[in-house]
Structure 1
Amino acid sequence: MSTATSVYADRPWLARYPQDTPTDITVEHATALDIFDAAATTHPNETFLHYFDGTLTFADIDHAARAVAHTLRNHGFRDGDRLALYVQNNPAFIIGMIAAWKAGGTAVAINPMNKTRELTYLLGDSGAVALLTLDDLYTDIAKPVIDSGAGSVHTVITCSALDFQTRNDERLFTGLTRTHPDDTLDLRTIIDDYTGADLPPVTLTADDVAVLAYTSGTTGNPKGAMNTHGNFAFNAQTYRDWTGLQPGEPILGIAPLFHITGLVGHIMFAMLTRAPLILAHRFDPAVMLDAIREHKPVFTIGAITAFNALAAAPGATPADFTSLRVLYSGGAPIAPAVGDRLEHIFGAYIHNIYGLTETNSPSHAVPLGMRAPVDPVSGALSVGVPVFNTIVRVVDENGDDVPVGEVGEFLTSGPQVVPGYWNKPEATAKSIPGGALHTGDVGFMDTDGWFYVVDRKKDMINASGYKVWPREVEDVLYTHPAVREAAVVGVPDEYRGETVKAYVSLRDGQSANPDELIAYCKTQLAAYKYPRHIDIVDELPKTVTGKILRRELRDNTN
């Protein structure tokens, strides 16, 4: 069914937009680099980054990025080439990303938790010719990969997590020292030696790829989503216009910068609003709590597990979080009971936001100041409504619209959808035909235009022919006062084909046994839905962004 005849094309969700909120926006900047250059030109002395006790202005970052871009060009980097970024939440990540653009190329965002096998694949798949990495990651992982002949990297710049600050927080940096591997260029030396030589002019357009951001690779190898400058320019403005954040209001960087949430909801958002972005190498709840106390951020976005960890940080009190006026959470579902509990601690409602690497972060969000409704049947909390300029249809396996209220796959069209996957035309044609993204997420739209994600298609459990969505079972478990986190998977069963199994971690000071939790679920769920087995564990496996890894739990289940 075409969108022209679709109920979704009428965008019933627009009635949920606050008064005076536009239904569509006109992007003010053509490229992500234009956004940065505008801030560096008009407000060079305003703070862009706080990194422990270090402060960097837009002019500081501009100088550093120009130095790196100049060095890259001198070492053979040309228009369209790729610079891989293999660092944590350090200023070096942002310097390197902007440098890649100023040198006419593309940044490749790499998870710093990746090991030899993953790095070998990503360098080879992206065809990166240059690498910016932490010195310890280079020595332990990247150098052996490059020496083995994997990929096309011929220029390596190393940096230290200790750069750009002097506090040397022992909670993160105990035993860490600066090193400069002999066969690499040193980032601080490049910056210090740069004399401001002119860079050759580069012409970037909205269609050029700004960042290759790799999918999680839950099936097969990760794919490089080609996030364009136009994608970044649109969604940076979406964040600004959706949240109403004012210029200069600080942003707390709790999401990893390599992840699409950190790339857009932290870096690009801060660039556009000329906001100080607060970084702390990697997420540590106690360190982040101190950063909140010191820098008084107004906005942050991260996985709900990060909010849980901040709330549980030793010594944390509601008074610590009073500056955080605008809170959003994405990347992992929020159970309604968890959202309610955290609101009492943070003093502000945590709004849902939803998107994928292929949608350059948000495609849906809860409007600021509104509360997401809870579906009375499934108990799922709404992920919000489609953002500006965006149409989301709910379709069946044939691509036809399902009626309002019925479950199907989300099919997303809008300026934030990437044009495809790097060097993978078949995967692009399958997942993004005609520019509309088949998300793989299953859910529905209610009569008021709110959207609900039930689950990923691959996570559905088939128990004796009945569909069981893990989210519904997890949300019930979260209402038990002893449950901190929960994950539900399907496991083989001789009689039912599949049956439901849950993994649960408990809140500090609380106790519960599997039989008690199973009995609790039986009072809340239909007989085919409640878990037949529950394992209580200390911690659930998670991605670096805080998303619980159901896949790992399934793979490790006997």
Structure 2
Amino acid sequence: MNGTTNDWLAHRSAVSPGATALIEAEDGTEWTYADLDSAVERTAGRLAGLGLREGDHLGVLMETRMESVRLVHAAMRLGCVLVPLNVRLAVPELRRQVGVTDLSALVCEANTEATAREIAVDVPVVSVDASIDTTLGECERAEFDPNAWTRDDPQIMLFTSGTTGNPKAVVLTMGNLLASATASAFRLGVLPDDRWHLCLSTYHMGGLAPLLRSTLYGTTVVLESGSGFDPEETLETVRAYDATGISLVPTMLRRMLDAEKSDDGSRLDSLRFVLLGGAPARDELIEECENRAVPVCPTYGMTETASQIATARPTEAFEHRGTVGRPLMFTELTVVDGDGNPVESGESGELVVAGPTVMAGYYDNRKATADAFGEYGLHTGDVGYRDEGDRIWVLNRRSDRIVTGGENVHPGEVVEVLRDHPGIRDAAVVGVEDEEWGEQIGALVVPVADETMTLESIRAFCDGRLAGYKQPRLLDVTAELPRTASGTVDRDAVRERLRYDS
């Protein structure tokens, strides 16, 4: 693809207009690519009627639904930068995001309209549902020229899912998204009859990616609308529509497998791959997938890299539990030490990524962008290593490193030992501020049913497995680990709970 190109849906509709683009799982409504193209043309015309033009920033505050799909494609048709906003955030958080993204308009739904009007005082707000004001469907359509895109043009702006500080707005170009879709297809494989079940939110890359990729591939998206995640509903939808692929975070997959135990996995038989990311997958989860013939593909990625950096195919995941596989095509991954120098295979260090999927930068934040890049590419802030087979193993965030009594402790190492405890189902480990030691190691554990956990018993289990300074000094138990909207452990919430209980 050289020079310029129109939006991907327009191309796909011209090539295969009668192919099924999307199925609404709620009622089985099917959209061909020609149908979807016509609907997107109408939506784009109404957005143009609001005054939106090439280069404008279009905010969307909505759950995953048919209307949000149309907005994703309509933004590309107009040449707007799409800015999806997380509906789970609090008003102050959303207000800060709106304040730094220079929105030209904000589209919402009935459930988010009050919030949208509160956070976007100086920005036009329209709802796709019945509204106290004009709805998007009532806007007068205006003529427009479809945008001609180049690979360097910003297409999407997403916020990082960091658990501390103010998230930064990641600018992803059309080229980033194209390279990601291509590399993912090389790793996972694409078949003409593939159906990607979409149950992740479209305000995260995990939800946006299937919409964009399937359009490029000419395959079908099965759309599960609504807020929240219901494992039974997802299982039934996968079976009803013979989905061949699905993106999940480990917690979602765990809940689906628990719900599926009475059915021997029959509702998952159609799947060719389960792309599993957003948080580390426990070895026991991968083992259960192997035992139940669930084709899990653990992946490691970032918003800053348009999703996947490395992904393991099922056979590799089963034979080397804990790996996230090899880097994707065109992605260069370097492991560096504290001085920024590459290390040998087997040695841990920070993971640094380069390649066509890496973001253009953080919007209107030159300092943060400059700080993020070094000689070998984007510094991920993640600690890991590369084995002799070129497989990547991610240990933990560098920023999560605990320094206790002058000794460095990687939380991932402690978590791995705790998860081996027969009475512990899951665990999170953080550093808790301490006047004497600088930080103490705290553990929040999810016990197996009817198990009683004490700090003494856990430390006894760690003897011989961990050095004394790496063993937990603080302990609390919980039924479920607190998590962020993207599925990662909310380390601030864990730390606060341990601090409160200490």
TM-superposition CA deviations, 1:402-425 (whole Å, max 9, x none): 233222111111000011111111
Contact 1:411 1:436 in 2 (8 A): yes
Secondary structure of the residue that 1:449 maps to in structure 2? coil
Q: Label 1:360 to 1:56 Cα distance change in 2 as closer, same or farther (>3 A).
A: same
Q: Output the CA distance in 1 between the equivalents of 2:3 and 2:427.
A: 43
Contact 1:338 1:478 in 2 (8 A): no
Q: Output the CA distance in 1 between the equivalents of 2:418 and 2:8.
A: 44
TM-superposition CA deviations, 1:299-342 (whole Å, max 9, x none): 11221111011112275541121111212211111122221123
Equivalent position of 1:511 in the other structure: 451
Equivalent position of 1:16 in the other structure: none
| Map 1:235-384 → 2, pairs under 5 A | 235-264=180-209, 266-280=210-224, 281-282=226-227, 283-313=229-259, 317-345=264-292, 347-367=293-313, 369-371=315-317, 374=320, 381-384=322-325
Q: Label 1:544 to 1:344 Cα distance change in 2 as closer, same or farther (>3 A).
A: farther
The answer to whether residue 30 in structure 2 is matched with residue 90 in structure 1 is: no
User: 1:59 offset after TM fit, Å?
Assistant: 2.3
Which stretch of structure 1 is more off in the superposition, 491-500 or 249-258? 491-500
User: 1:31 offset after TM fit, Å?
Assistant: 7.9
| Map 1:335-484 → 2, pairs under 5 A | 335-345=282-292, 347-367=293-313, 369-371=315-317, 374=320, 381-433=322-374, 436-484=377-425
Secondary structure of the residue that 1:371 maps to in structure 2? helix
Q: Output the CA distance in 2 between the equivalents of 1:145 and 1:449.
A: 46
Contact 1:35 1:233 in 2 (8 A): no
| Map 1:130-169 → 2, pairs under 5 A | 130-139=105-114, 141-146=115-120, 149=121, 152-154=122-124, 156-160=125-129
TM-superposition CA deviations, 1:459-517 (whole Å, max 9, x none): 1112333322111222222233443332111123455432221112234x452323444
Q: CA RMSD in A?
A: 2.4
1:538 paired residue among 471, 475, 479: 479
Secondary structure of the residue that 1:394 maps to in structure 2? strand
In the superposition, the TM-score normalised over structure 2's length comes to: 0.91
* AA aligned opposite 2:287: D
| Map 1:58-77 → 2, pairs under 5 A | 58-77=33-52
* AA aligned opposite 2:112: L
Q: Output the CA distance in 2 between the equivalents of 1:205 and 1:539.
A: 45
2:155 paired residue among 210, 213, 216: 210
Q: Label 1:477 to 1:423 Cα distance change in 2 as closer, same or farther (>3 A).
A: same
Contact 2:299 2:308 in 1 (8 A): yes
Equivalent position of 2:134 in the other structure: 184
Contact 1:248 1:273 in 2 (8 A): no
Contact 2:316 2:325 in 1 (8 A): no
Question: Structure 2: which 5+ runs fail to align?
Answer: none
Q: Output the CA distance in 2 between the equivalents of 1:369 and 1:483.
A: 27
Contact 2:46 2:136 in 1 (8 A): no
TM-superposition CA deviations, 1:332-383 (whole Å, max 9, x none): 11122221123334x2242221111111111111245423665xxxxx8222
Q: Output the CA distance in 2 between the equivalents of 1:313 and 1:44.
A: 38
Q: Output the CA distance in 2 between the equivalents of 1:240 and 1:29.
A: 20
TM-superposition CA deviations, 1:244-268 (whole Å, max 9, x none): 121231112233221112222x222
The answer to whether residue 490 in structure 2 is matched with residue 549 in structure 1 is: yes
Contact 1:69 1:99 in 2 (8 A): yes
* AA aligned opposite 1:137: T
User: 1:72 offset after TM fit, Å?
Assistant: 1.6
TM-superposition CA deviations, 1:127-167 (whole Å, max 9, x none): 1111121211112x112223xx3xx422x33235xxxxxxx
Equivalent position of 2:168 in the other structure: 223
Contact 1:29 1:233 in 2 (8 A): no
* AA aligned opposite 1:411: V
| Map 1:487-506 → 2, pairs under 5 A | 487-506=428-447
Equivalent position of 2:22 in the other structure: 49
Which stretch of structure 1 is more off in the superposition, 359-368 or 489-498? 489-498
Q: Output the CA distance in 2 between the equivalents of 1:261 and 1:254.
A: 9
Question: Structure 1: which 5+ runs fail to align?
Answer: 1-27, 161-179, 375-379
Q: Label 1:323 to 1:32 Cα distance change in 2 as closer, same or farther (>3 A).
A: farther
Which stretch of structure 1 is more off in the superposition, 80-89 or 538-547? 538-547
Which stretch of structure 1 is more off in the superposition, 443-452 or 98-107? 443-452
Q: Output the CA distance in 2 between the equivalents of 1:289 and 1:404.
A: 40
Q: Label 1:89 to 1:481 Cα distance change in 2 as closer, same or farther (>3 A).
A: farther
Contact 2:7 2:148 in 1 (8 A): no
Equivalent position of 1:35 in the other structure: 8
Equivalent position of 1:17 in the other structure: none
Secondary structure of the residue that 1:528 maps to in structure 2? helix
Secondary structure of the residue that 2:485 maps to in structure 1? coil
Q: Output the CA distance in 1 between the equivalents of 2:384 and 2:429.
A: 17
In the superposition, the TM-score normalised over structure 1's length comes to: 0.83
* AA aligned opposite 1:185: T
Q: Output the CA distance in 2 between the equivalents of 1:114 and 1:134.
A: 15
Which stretch of structure 1 is more off in the superposition, 309-318 or 223-232? 309-318
User: 1:95 offset after TM fit, Å?
Assistant: 0.8
Contact 1:255 1:545 in 2 (8 A): no
User: 1:102 offset after TM fit, Å?
Assistant: 1.2
User: 1:75 offset after TM fit, Å?
Assistant: 1.8
Q: Label 1:241 to 1:404 Cα distance change in 2 as closer, same or farther (>3 A).
A: closer
User: 1:50 offset after TM fit, Å?
Assistant: 2.4
Contact 2:232 2:259 in 1 (8 A): yes
* AA aligned opposite 2:266: A
Secondary structure of the residue that 1:313 maps to in structure 2? helix
Secondary structure of the residue that 1:553 maps to in structure 2? helix
Contact 1:463 1:496 in 2 (8 A): yes
Q: Label 1:204 to 1:279 Cα distance change in 2 as closer, same or farther (>3 A).
A: same
User: 1:81 offset after TM fit, Å?
Assistant: 0.1
User: 1:554 offset after TM fit, Å?
Assistant: 1.5
Q: Output the CA distance in 2 between the equivalents of 1:96 and 1:119.
A: 20
Q: Output the CA distance in 1 between the equivalents of 2:205 and 2:347.
A: 29
Q: Output the CA distance in 2 between the equivalents of 1:522 and 1:255.
A: 41
Contact 1:47 1:58 in 2 (8 A): yes
* AA aligned opposite 1:259: H
Q: Label 1:392 to 1:79 Cα distance change in 2 as closer, same or farther (>3 A).
A: same
* AA aligned opposite 1:327: V
Secondary structure of the residue that 1:203 maps to in structure 2? coil
Which stretch of structure 1 is more off in the superposition, 514-523 or 89-98? 514-523
Contact 1:206 1:228 in 2 (8 A): yes
Identity fraction in percent: 30
Contact 2:346 2:385 in 1 (8 A): yes
Contact 1:243 1:368 in 2 (8 A): no
Contact 1:419 1:432 in 2 (8 A): no
Contact 2:352 2:376 in 1 (8 A): no
